[in-house]
Structure 1
Amino acid sequence: MKKLMLLGFALCLSSLANAAIVTITAVPTGWRMANYMGDGALLVRNTGSTCATGKITMPTNNEAQRNRFWALILAAKATSSTVVIEYDDSTTLCTIVSFSMKES
């Protein structure tokens, strides 16, 4: 029983160690953005992220960041440019921590 408990503990620790910042580098033509009223949450689906439905989310506490992200994705869609998005996959929200346009 003690060995089983130690094995379970080791498995839990290894799953925590896998949570990290993940990078997506893509042309976002198929991405679907939604800005929800009320809490102002920005949700992007079909990104290829490790979260359900390939979603990533923008924190709700910074409207200026949300606006810059929205503008970046729209510009990248219009010009077929590549974006680089980093997100934290340690929660089910897959929260965006960094975003940029990839240099040519």
Structure 2
Amino acid sequence: MKKYLWFFVLSLLSTPVLAENVPITTVPANWKLENYVGDHVVVWFSGSECTNGGLKFGADATQDDKNRFWSLMLAAKVANKKMEVYYENSEAPSYCEITGFSLMPE
């Protein structure tokens, strides 16, 4: 029995930390949206756990994904409405990748 307990404890200690898909739900009034050369869309001051609240799109994001995000964020800013952004935090604080976004219903 002790052998199995020891194996269980060792397996827990050797399990890597799993990343989370973390939501941010807010009116993006103070977020800064930037587009860098090479079409890298980045959000700053989002409140994420990454440096300066940075959120970025991953390499698999399409141009349409980035365009929809840009449009949705600007609409939420102008209308003073909440949006929700999900990001993956496994490399925080150096990198937080956007995995989903939406406008919150009223």
TM-score, reference length from structure 2? 0.79
1:64 equivalenced with 2:64 (yes/no): yes
Q: 1:84 Cα deviation (Å)?
A: 0.6
Structure 2 unaligned residues grouped into runs of 5+:
1-11
Secondary structure of the residue aligned to 2:105 is: coil
Report the counterpart of residue 84 of structure 2 in structure 1. 84
Contact 1:46 1:53 in 2 (8 A): yes
Q: 1:26 Cα deviation (Å)?
A: 0.4
Letter in 1 for 2:82: T
Report the counterpart of residue 22 of structure 2 in structure 1. 22
Letter in 2 for 1:74: L
Larger radius of gyration: 2
1:21-62: CA deviation from partner (whole Å, max 9, x where unpaired): 000000000000111112x11110100001111111122441
Secondary structure of the residue aligned to 1:75 is: helix
TM-score, reference length from structure 1? 0.81
Q: Among the aligned pairs, what percent are the same residue?
A: 33
The structure whose residues are more often helix, as a share, is 1
The structure whose residues are more often strand, as a share, is 2
Letter in 1 for 2:100: S
After superposing on structure 2, the runs of 4+ consecutive aligned residues of structure 1 that deviate more than 4 Å are none
Q: 1:13 Cα deviation (Å)?
A: 4.3
Report the counterpart of residue 43 of structure 2 in structure 1. 44
Question: RMSD of the alignment, in Å?
Answer: 2.0
